[in-house]
Amino acid sequence: MSTLISVSNLTKRYGDKKVVDEVNLTVKAGQILGLVGPNGAGKTTCLQAVLGLTDFTGEVDVLGYNPKNNRERMLNDVAYIADVAVLPKWLKVEQALIYMAGVHPNFDRQKAEDFLAKTNINHNSKIKSLSKGMVTQVHLALILAIDAKVLILDEPTLGLDILTRRQFYTHLLEDFYNEDKCIIVTTHQIEEIEHILTDVAFIQEGKVVLSESTDNIKERFKLVAVSDEYVSHAQTLKPLFSNRIMGLTTMLFDQAKDHELAELGPVSSPSLADVFVGIMTKNVTKEAC
Partner 1 sequence: MAVDKLAQGVLVMYNTVMRFINLFIHSFLRKRTMSAQWHNDTPIYLQLYQQVVSRILEGYIKEGEALPSVRRVAAEYQLNPITISKAYQMLQDEALVEKQRGKGLFVKEGTQALMLAREREAFLTKQWPEILQKISLLKLSAAELLASNKEVTL
Q: What is the 3-state secondary structure (H, E, C) of the chain?
A: CCEEEEEEEEEEEECCEEEEEEEEEEEECCCEEEEECCCCCCHHHHHHHHCCCCCCEEEEEECCECCCCCHHHHCCCEEEECCCCCCCCCCEHHHHHHHHHHHCCCECHHHHHHHHHCCCCCCCCEHHHCCHHHHHHHHHHHHHCECCCEEEEECCCCCCCHHHHHHHHHHHHHHHCCCCCEEEEECCCHHHHCCCCCEEEEEECCEEEEEEEHHHHHHHEEEEEEEHHHHHHHHHCCCCEEEEECCEEEEEEECCCHHHHHCCCCEECCCHHHHHHHHHHHHHHHHHC
Residues 69-108 binding partner 1 (CB under 8 A) are none
Taking the least distance from each CB to partner 1, the nearer of 273 and 284 is 273
Give the total of residues touching partner 1 (CB under 8 A).
Answer: 23
- Listed ranges 13-21, 149-157, 210-218, 246-254: which one lies at the site for partner 1 (CB under 8 A): 210-218
**9 touches partner 1 (CB under 8 A):** no
Taking the least distance from each CB to partner 1, the nearer of 30 and 58 is 30
**1 touches partner 1 (CB under 8 A):** no
Q: Which of 22, 30, 70, 108 binds partner 1 (CB under 8 A)?
A: 30
> Pattern of binders to partner 1 over 217-256, x per CB under 8 A?
-x--------------------------------------
**109 touches partner 1 (CB under 8 A):** no
Closest distance of CB 226 from partner 1, Å: 17
Q: Which of 94, 113, 161, 179 binds partner 1 (CB under 8 A)?
A: 179
Taking the least distance from each CB to partner 1, the nearer of 167 and 249 is 167
Contact 83, 92 (CB under 8 A): no
**215 touches partner 1 (CB under 8 A):** yes
**193 touches partner 1 (CB under 8 A):** yes
> Pattern of binders to partner 1 over 139-178, x per CB under 8 A?
---------------------------x--xxx-xx--x-
Tell me which residues touch partner 1 (CB under 8 A).
30, 32, 166, 169-171, 173-174, 177, 179, 192-193, 195-198, 214-215, 218, 268-271
